[in-house]
Amino acid sequence: MNNLDEKINKDLILREKLALQRTELANHSTLLAFVRTALYFLVAGLSLRSLLNLKNSLMIEVSFFIISSAILIIGIVNYLKQLKKIKTSEKHIGDYRLEYLNK
């Protein structure tokens, strides 16, 4: 490989690594958005009885707690699934030409 090919390959690797880091940070922020939404529903369930005098307030509170738990579980499962995809895509960074010639 000449010097230009080596420089291009290093730039490609750097760009791909930076893209993976951005993707991982986006995955973290998505998890935090799920946690924030779950906390909103939890607080709504906790404060419903003190704010409103409703007949079925206990049922509504329990439904808010269930929705909050479901959102949190969905967020964690989504985070772990995407993290696994990110980790498997990291092994594809490198010199594609060498990988192609070795097959």
What was the pLDDT predicted at 72?
A: 97
C-alpha to C-alpha distance for 92 and 73, rounded to whole angstroms: 30
C-alpha to C-alpha distance for 68 and 55, rounded to whole angstroms: 22
What was the pLDDT predicted at 3?
A: 61
**Statement: the pTM of the whole predicted model exceeds 0.85:** no
What was the pLDDT predicted at 63?
A: 94
Measure the CA angle with vertex 24, ends 69 and 79; round to 5°.
20
Contacts (Cβ under 8 Å, ≥6 apart) of 42: 64, 65, 68
Per-residue pLDDT tens digits of the chain, which is 103 residues long:
556 555 556 666 777 888 888 999 999 999 999 999 999 999 999 988 888 888 888 898 999 999 999 999 999 999 999 999 888 877 666 555 555 555 5
What was the pLDDT predicted at 94?
A: 58
C-alpha to C-alpha distance for 6 and 95, rounded to whole angstroms: 9
What was the pLDDT predicted at 98?
A: 52
What was the pLDDT predicted at 54?
A: 80
C-alpha to C-alpha distance for 20 and 82, rounded to whole angstroms: 12
